[in-house]
Structure 1
Amino acid sequence: MERIPILRMGEYLLVTVQVEMHDQLALTLQEDLATRISETAARGVLIDISALEIVDSFIGRMIANISGLSKIMDAQTVLVGMQPAVAITLVELGLNLPGVATAMDVDRGMQLLRAKVQQQ
């Protein structure tokens, strides 16, 4: 089964999506992230979607679900690398990704993630 790698960087988890997401892969990622947050007691999750050119409504909802799930498990989530076409599509679909913090790139995302974790 295809999986998206989840890397541990200290108290954070880094997810870099390098393949086009499909529904089953998104569901698997959600389950894998929940498991890794629990196993590592991660305080934050950074999800890099810079390689994604298309995000449909299901994938958008899954990103919001992952953020909510992480928060319940005491981890903050930051989404980085959103392509302009993806942002436009999400807005056109009426998805505003409640609770999902975003940043332009990984560096800014890590700064934001660290700040959010320190505020807890």
Structure 2
Amino acid sequence: MKNFFGLFLTLFLVTACIDDPDPEGILIRVENASSVDFKDIRISSGSTPVEFSDVKAGKKSEYKEFESAYRYGFVSLLANGTELRIQPFDYVGETPLSKGYYTYKLDIDDSNPDNIYLLMELVVKN
């Protein structure tokens, strides 16, 4: 009986950790593709702002649900104590994302030290 319970518990934990192949909503995570830690990440992409807290360099956050979202959005974060933002003008002509898993891959372009800015790329999970 102990072996059966152990097997059941193991199967439950493994399946609980696997992403739902058919999610009920728009699930987005943040990937920090830069070499510095990001703090106080806030994203708004067509809906209520979502807080992602901190994401270390080269790491990804957990997925968070968005009411609606687009392939880009407003982003605010701290990198090395400096506030960086992406501020879109509007979403005219954009199609909202459908239900699924997405990653906003964020990086820093610091090729010009006088003009450091964020880069954002949408990655769609296959």
State the TM bucket, normalised to the shorter chain. under 0.3
Instruction: Looking at secondary structure, tell me which structure has more helix per residue.
Output: 1
TM-score of the pair, normalised by structure 2 = 0.25
Q: Flag the structure with larger Rg.
A: 2
Instruction: Looking at secondary structure, tell me which structure has more strand per residue.
Output: 2
